[in-house]
Structure 1
Amino acid sequence: MSKDKILVVEDAPDISSLLKIYFTSQGYEVMTAMRGQVALDICRKTPPNLALLDVNLPDMEGYDIGRALRQSARTRHIPIIFLTARGEKQDRIRGLGEVQAEYYIVKPFDIEEVHTIVKGALDRARQKNLAHPVTNLPTAELINEQYRQLVASTGGWALAQAHINGFETFTQAYGAVVGEDVLKFTALMLNEVINEIGGPNDFIGQMVVGPDFVMTSSPEHLKAIATRMCERFDAEIGLQYNYKDRRNGYIVVNDDQGTPRQVPLMSLSIGVLTSADGPFYDIRELSETVEDVRQHALAEARELGRKSHVSFGRAADD
């Protein structure tokens, strides 16, 4: 299982270093930022499992960081803990009320107590099943929440579902730990492409089971995002294989009868729906329809001899 990832946002080098050294020694992966904008850029690219925020920063207040995280569908699930010298009643109200932080700790602090609070917040987040255990992307109920918003929306929207073809065979050959690296690689690529092409309110989620990702955006953005994802995935996925398999363009595995067979390198199949393909009356209809379009993308790729491939709903074909 992947380590929990903590983002420490603190402009005092001694405190930042103390927190990083301590939490790293406790088995966490720790990222640090001394400025608010750097922290927000980190969260957009690689969402942490939890954010420890100071309030007084050179470029913005920690409250502004917290509000920005809460306003984005991609980061609103991240637990926030304030760790600050500002301990007045109105400061606590802003942190706990406006930002909806898990906890508000006033300096000076006992680091073991901070660890206990952090561990409790992470445990509660896991129990709510809001984030994927490997990529920390929104999952489960947060994906369903996005589906419900699309069904109820009267505006234009687009939904995509992406599946990593050949992932199960890859993990059988290379192992589950390397398979987790592929999921992280794909999640990072999705974040990069959406940050490059999409908008600040675009959503990325991952199904709890299987190598399946969900994205929502505007129709014009998501079509470009899906196409770019296929291009980048095919260009970069070879780096997850050893040199021999990468050079051959396939791996050799045994089937149920023990007969060796060649399996191509992993690829993406992506199905894209827009509001023009509707109306959709419930989230089950929406999720089943986008999966049908994704299956069509896989079938088209095989028929055309392609690797990664995108298929669009009826409206895009008209």
Structure 2
Amino acid sequence: MSKARLLIVEDDVDIANMLRLFFKSQGYEVEVAMRGSEALEKTRQGLPHLLVLDIMLPDIDGYEVCRALRTNTRTSHIPILFLTQKDERSDKLKGLELGADDYITKPFDIEELKLRVQNALARAERESLTDPQSGLPSGRLIEDQLRKIIRQSDWAFMDIRINYFDAFRDVYGLIAANDVVRFTAMLLSEVVDEVGTPSDFIGHAGGDNFVIFTTSQAAPRLKERLKQRFAEAVLSHYNFIDRQQGFILAPGRGGEMIKTPFMSLAIGYVTPAMQPFTDIREITEVAAEERRRDALLAAG
């Protein structure tokens, strides 16, 4: 997988710095939070792939942080590894009952902690819980949400894809393209916070394809705001010359260089008011058709 993002939640400055430096040396992206409330805010701003979470924190304890993450649709999938001085069986059981993935007691062996982190990340990827690029829910978790909403009366399923993403990757390379994927994941989260609902679910179906589960009322404004925000912010991923000329030159199917527009979002969504759905495949197929129609309209 690409660089996994770890969030270390630890109020002991020495331990926090030691863990930050160690895991950075192992190739991870690492952020540190000294308080539980800060950890929840950082998680909301950008999903980490895993939390190393101390239980004894100065504001809310690690149990409360874990409970908040597990009860939020958008963060319930993130692996959590408790790090604590407590060694009582009851404390371990409480953490595991809340949904923690593992538990290690201070003082700890740093190599053992590294292996536990690696195992938790590998398990999440193997079980199709998270996309390795974005850290968003993927695979099975998206399917679980589809099975959940089909039994409800008010929902909207949004299928989102990045137009001209392949051309951008051909010109700017894989690393720049991966940056666009991570940027898009963060943008979706920001816009859902802005105009969506607290229970909205954001998923990454793979590559340049994302999904949002929301309400039928929120879907139209989410679509409009996502397109607007993406069009404004994506320009920063292009160099000055391309921004000035308003397009990029990308190789066509025959190898010739053709003018290609900047990336944009194609978004299609479906609600139960449009037609009755009896199978989750119908939901995804109709949403994909709506998304393709949206792409054609944008292409003019």
Deviations 1:86-143 (A, max 9, x none): 222221111012x221211111111111111111111111211211111011111111
**Counterpart mapping for 1:92-171 below 5 A:** 92-97=92-97, 99-153=98-152, 155-171=153-169
Q: Does 1:77 align with 2:77?
A: yes
CA distance in 1, matches of 2:31, 2:220: 33
Deviations 1:29-72 (A, max 9, x none): 11111111111111122111110111111221101111111112
Deviations 1:257-310 (A, max 9, x none): 33321011111110122221232101100100111111111122223xxxxxxx
Alignment match of 2:290 (pick from 270, 283, 293) = 293
2:219 equivalent in structure 1:
222
Question: How far is 1:73 from its partner?
Answer: 2.1
CA distance in 1, matches of 2:123, 2:234: 34
Q: Given the two structures, how large is their TM-score scaled by the length of structure 1?
A: 0.91
CA distance in 2, matches of 1:19, 1:254: 45
Does structure 1 conserve the Cα–Cα contact (< 8 Å) formed by 2:168 and 2:250?
no
**Counterpart mapping for 1:1-318 below 5 A:** 2-97=2-97, 99-153=98-152, 155-208=153-206, 210-303=207-300
CA distance in 1, matches of 2:111, 2:256: 55
Query: Which structure 2 residue ranges, 5 or more long, are not aligned?
Result: none
CA distance in 1, matches of 2:298, 2:252: 23
Letter in 1 for 2:33: A
Deviations 1:200-256 (A, max 9, x none): 211000112x31110011222222122111001111111111111111111112323
Q: Given the two structures, how large is their TM-score scaled by the length of structure 2?
A: 0.96
SS in 1 for 2:269: strand
Query: Which structure 1 residue ranges, 5 or more long, are not aligned?
Result: 304-318
CA distance in 2, matches of 1:164, 1:204: 15
- Identity across aligned pairs (percent)? 42
Does structure 1 conserve the Cα–Cα contact (< 8 Å) formed by 2:128 and 2:141?
no
Q: CA RMSD in A?
A: 1.3
SS in 1 for 2:160: strand
Question: How far is 1:157 from its partner?
Answer: 1.1
Letter in 2 for 1:161: D
Letter in 1 for 2:272: S
CA distance in 1, matches of 2:254, 2:197: 49
CA distance in 1, matches of 2:135, 2:108: 28
CA distance in 2, matches of 1:215, 1:254: 32
**Which one is further off, 49-58 or 254-263?**
254-263
